[in-house]
Amino acid sequence: MYNASPDAYKQMMAQDSVGDIDKPADAVTLTFFGQNVVTSTGAMWKKHRKIAAPAFNQETYADVWNVTASLYHQMQSSEAWKAGDVINFPAFNRFTTRMALLVIAACGFDMRIGWEESPSYPGLHSTIDQVIVTVSSNLLIRIVAPEWVLSIPSAAMRTIKVAYADLRQYLTAEISSKRADVQKRKAVGGMTESTDRNVFGRLVAASEAEGSAGLDESELMGNLFIFLFAGHETTAHTLVVTLALLAVHPEEQERIYRHVSDVVGDREPTFQDFSDLNPVLHAFSEAMRLYPPAYVQIRSPTADVVIQYNDVDRPEITHDVFVAKGTMMCMDQVGLNRNPRMFPQPDEFIPSRWDGKTTDDLLPFSFGPRVCLGKKFALVEAVCFLTHLLRDWRVEIDLSGFASFQDWRAEHLYPTMGVTLKTGDVPLRMVKRSRC
């Protein structure tokens, strides 16, 4: 059964894993490093969520802002950004991917890698940032292909196989070093460090706990992997799409620029500004509505359920839909987010449609008890990055060779559906604003 009704989606997801709706076990595929908070169901999911959730707090979000801002400034000082006042980037998504990866590495794992650094670790075949990018950009092969496919003697398969082995080796070494660190502090009765409270610290500590509250080694590994992956791909793609859509809607971009200038003037934007930067947030939300990265959620009722929806022509009338136990439900995020009943002119980029709405209305992050754990993390990172960039640069696209924006969009913003929904390389032109 396909669902593109936001009302029905909210009703179903409100019961997700706590009522009569659950993830069907055979629809879950990201378990090759071990069960984790995304893949597990029932009591196991509750345990994983309880362990990881406290790591997502105001202290973390302030860190996300500061790390993103610092990486932005480092990026600005790098060679690629010194090419002049007008710079053409053939694949701007590489910048947003690197940004999002380094932010989750720093704020989730305390791996503080500079913009131009590529740390290598003993025994790994490439630098750790390359390893993570190779692993996450080849997830689909890993999911759909049987294990033996990785042994096919081809350079591509070897690269993937080696990257997976390297990531496992790296995470194992990081776990040992974190454990040794915590033990040392405990032995001298020392205080816990703030890094013990980030998601990595909490997961490692939980792996030391005994009984049903603890994580076994495979669950620990599974969660570390999922946070690295979920924590960067989705944000990176939405960021580049936001910039491309603002490039073809210069009036929206100018509105944001004026707002940012009014709020922060010439000073450095800070985390305290976050709640005053709604136009930036709304541009990101609107891009995510049009291109929802997690484009489908599969659910199945564990008992017969009844869903209500309002009549299309007479919304005051409610209909019941009976959904039998075991029905496979495909929650279609593209359909939900382009449903004209909730989003008039659904295919248009209209950031102001989010004015007066709350982030509960942002269905691309899901809804209910299993709403995305990294939602605010992603929003803070996005608002910080976009605020800095759009204040310093005007973003444009090069339409030469294209009859219209539609043609450009069909070529460069064509979504492909792999593990997440993403586009190919997005070429963008940056034109320096006079204040920098």
Q: What is the SS3 assignment for 52-120? A: HHHHCCHHHHHHHHHHHHHHHHHHHHCHHHHCCCEEEECCCHHHHHHHHHHHHHHHHHCCCCCCCCCCC
Query: Among all chains, which residue has been given the structure tokens 């990026």?
Result: 75
Q: Candidates 272-280, 369-377, 387-395, 397-405 — which segment interacts with ligand HEM by CB under 6 A?
A: 369-377
Q: Measured from the CB atom, is 282 or 370 closer to ligand HEM?
A: 370
To ligand HEM, the closest distance from the beta carbon of 167 in angstroms equals: 17
Q: Which residue is nearest to ligand HEM (CB)?
A: 374
Q: Does 55 bind ligand HEM (CB under 6 A)?
A: no
Residue 272, CA distances (Å) to 105, 159, 348, 378 in order:
23, 43, 31, 16
Q: How far is the CB of 374 from ligand HEM (least distance, A)?
A: 2
- Does residue 109 bind ligand HEM (CB under 6 A)? no
Pair 80, 122: CB distance under 8 Å: no
Q: Closest Cα partner for 389 from 168, 106, 163, 96?
A: 96
Q: Does 182 bind ligand HEM (CB under 6 A)?
A: no
Q: Of the listed pieces 86-94, 232-240, 259-267, 421-429, which binds ligand HEM according to CB under 6 A?
A: 232-240
Contact residue for ligand HEM among 128, 160, 221, 230 (CB under 6 A): 230
DSSP label at 328?
Answer: -
Minimum gap (Å) between residue 84 Cβ and ligand HEM: 32
Tell me: does residue 408 bind ligand HEM (CB under 6 A). Answer: no
DSSP state of 315: T
Q: Is residue 330 a known part of a binding site?
A: no
| Cα-based angle 186, 187, 188 (whole degrees, multiple of 5) | 90
Can residue 104 be called a binding residue for ligand HEM (CB under 6 A)? yes
E strands, 127-242, are none
Q: Is 231 in the site for ligand HEM (CB under 6 A)?
A: yes
106 binds ligand HEM (CB under 6 A): no
Stretch of residues binding ligand HEM (CB under 6 A), selected from 149-157, 210-218, 292-300, 428-436: 292-300
- If the CB atoms of residues 164 and 365 are measured against ligand HEM, the closer one turns out to be 365
The angle subtended at Cα 11 by Cα 13 and Cα 359, nearest 5°, is 65
- Considering the rule CB under 6 A, would residue 370 count as an interface residue with ligand HEM? yes
Nearer to ligand HEM, 18 or 165 (CB): 18
Q: Which of 374, 376, 413, 419 binds ligand HEM (CB under 6 A)?
A: 374
DSSP conformation class of 50: H
Q: Is 377 in the site for ligand HEM (CB under 6 A)?
A: yes
Give the span between the Cα atoms of 430 and 392, in whole angstroms: 9
Interatomic CA distance for residues 201 and 243, integer angstroms = 34
CA 102 to each of CA 58, 116, 183, 198, 232: distance values in angstroms, whole numbers, following the listed order: 19, 11, 27, 15, 8
Q: Which residues between 143 and 162 bind ligand HEM (CB under 6 A)?
A: none
Residue numbers belonging to the annotated binding site: 372
Instruction: Catalog residues that contact ligand HEM under the rule CB under 6 A.
Output: 37-38, 49, 104, 108, 227, 230-231, 234-235, 238, 288, 293-294, 297, 364-366, 370, 372-374, 377-378
Residue numbers belonging to the annotated binding site for heme: 372
